[in-house]
């Protein structure tokens, strides 16, 4: 029987391309699609897929938080991230959250099929350069691939990322479904951890980082 896959991606054209790519294969097939984390939960509960492809940037939510939630509910569910974001920044975080692979959208489409089959067979998929960096970190005892950012918790990192995109405190709160007071607390933690003296410097640093990440 074909292995069942769900795609969680909020860009219709990208999602359609992935669906068409996979449905041409004889051993795997798409059984569901979702644009948001909420839709993903509904589809996954209904279809019970073997593997889920998740984008990190979703409408009204975070792909990273979705991965954590799914792993709590379905510990055996296999997850691969397919994202525009730089793997040097995000790969380690998503692997800690429970994903088994990370593919950048800039990679060849064949990489998606290779990654899916590798993970379905019990393996982990990362680009060769990312594998080397993570091994060097383990062997060399390096504290982080991205030292100044990696010390942030996942939620702090999400707030930091949205600050870099120009979101106001209220808009960040709405995006993450948190209170303004909670966002202010996260911002204080970020400033403390990154040794940033005020909000202006935080915005500048986050904006510069965001541009570099793109």
pLDDT, tens digit, for every residue of 187-206? Answer: 999 999 998 989 999 998 88
User: In the numeric block, which tokens belong to residue 18?
Assistant: 């992935």
In this predicted structure, what is the pLDDT of residue 141?
55
Do 89 and 177 lie in one domain? The reply is no
| Domain of residue 66, CATH code | 3.40.50.2300
* Alpha helices in the chain, H assignment, sequence order: 12-23, 37-47, 63-73, 87-97, 109-120, 128-140, 147-150, 154-164, 169-176, 180-193, 199-213
Q: Show which of 74, 108, 139 is a domain's final residue.
A: 139
Q: Show which of 139, 168, 200 is a domain's final residue.
A: 139
Do 115 and 153 lie in one domain? The reply is no
> What SS3 class is residue 57?
strand
* pTM of the shown model: 0.77
Number of domains in the chain: 2
Per-residue confidence at 59, pLDDT binned at 50, 70, 90? confident
In this predicted structure, what is the pLDDT of residue 144?
46
Structural domain harbouring 14: 3-139
Do 26 and 70 lie in one domain? The reply is yes
CA 180, CA 174: separation in Å to the nearest integer?
9
Range with the poorest average pLDDT among 142-146, 166-170, 184-188: 142-146
In this predicted structure, what is the pLDDT of residue 143?
47
- Burial degree of 211 (CB within 10 A; 0-12, 13-18, 19+): exposed
Cβ count within 10 A of residue 184:
15
pLDDT over 70 (residue 146):
no
């Amino acid at each position: 029987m074909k292995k069942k896959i769900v795609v969680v991606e909020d860009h219709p054209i990208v999602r359609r391309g992935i669906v068409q790519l996979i449905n041409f294969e004889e051993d795997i097939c798409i059984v569901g699609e979702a644009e948001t984390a909420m839709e993903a939960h509904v589809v996954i509960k209904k279809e019970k897929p073997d593997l889920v492809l998740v984008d990190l940037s979703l409408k009204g939510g975070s792909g990273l938080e979705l991965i954590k939630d799914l792993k709590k509910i379905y510990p055996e569910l296999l997850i691969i991230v397919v994202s525009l974001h730089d793997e040097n920044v995000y790969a380690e975080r998503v692997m800690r959250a429970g994903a088994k692979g990370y593919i950048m959208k800039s990679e060849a489409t064949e990489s998606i099929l290779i990654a899916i089959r590798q993970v379905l067979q019990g393996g982990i998929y990362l680009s060769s350069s990312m594998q080397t960096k993570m091994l060097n970190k383990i062997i060399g005892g390096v504290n982080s691939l991205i030292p100044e950012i990696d010390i942030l918790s996942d939620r702090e990192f999400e707030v930091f990322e949205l600050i870099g995109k120009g979101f106001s405190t209220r808009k960040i709160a709405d995006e993450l479904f948190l209170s303004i007071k909670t966002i202010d607390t996260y911002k204080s933690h970020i400033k403390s951890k990154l040794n940033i003296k005020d909000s202006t410097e935080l915005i500048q640093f986050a904006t510069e980082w965001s541009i570099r990440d793109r």
